[in-house]
Amino acid sequence: MDTSQGFPSQPDPSPRPDIGAAHASGLSKEERQWGMFAHLSALAGGLLSSMFGGWGVFLGPLVIWLIKKDEMPFVNDQGKEALNFNITVAAIFFVLFVLTLFTLGIGVILTGPIAIVVGLAWLAFTIIASMRANEGQAYRYPFAIRLIK
């Protein structure tokens, strides 16, 4: 092979996986996609319900988990994980909101920056989880109250 310019002169003879073949994780493409949707549905729910307090962050994972939990074990696991994480985040935001009200708005000096950090962490962890689920890896959020087991 001539690699003087960094490119092989012959095509790579390694076998290519079939489009319909199972992923290295052993999960089907459909199962990995539904696992990813369980996480991404929280983003969609949060965006769609943001003007109503963001309560929709756990509705998407809840619906996907309820529909697919019996037929796809990976989606059952990732749906519960996404649901638990988003319930935890919603509870944190509710507590911050109550603290702000309890202090007649003065507490926003403290609760505002905390809410921003929690919101950015929620966004980052949700994106990471969806990417990992699409790769067929079970993702565990670093902080989540495991209410649904």
Percent of the chain with pLDDT over 70: 79
Position 20 confidence tier, pLDDT thresholds 50, 70, 90: very low
Task: Decide if 147 is inside a domain.
Answer: no
Task: Decide if 90 is inside a domain.
Answer: yes
pTM: 0.78
Task: Decide if 15 is inside a domain.
Answer: no
- Please state the domain count of the chain: 1
Task: Decide if 1 is inside a domain.
Answer: no
Task: Decide if 111 is inside a domain.
Answer: yes
Position 3 confidence tier, pLDDT thresholds 50, 70, 90: low
Domain hosting 71: range is 29-134
Give, in order, the Cα–Cα distances in Å from 126 to each of 37, 64, 67, 81, 94.
11, 15, 20, 11, 19
Residues 34, 37, 43, CA angle at the centre, nearest 5°? 170
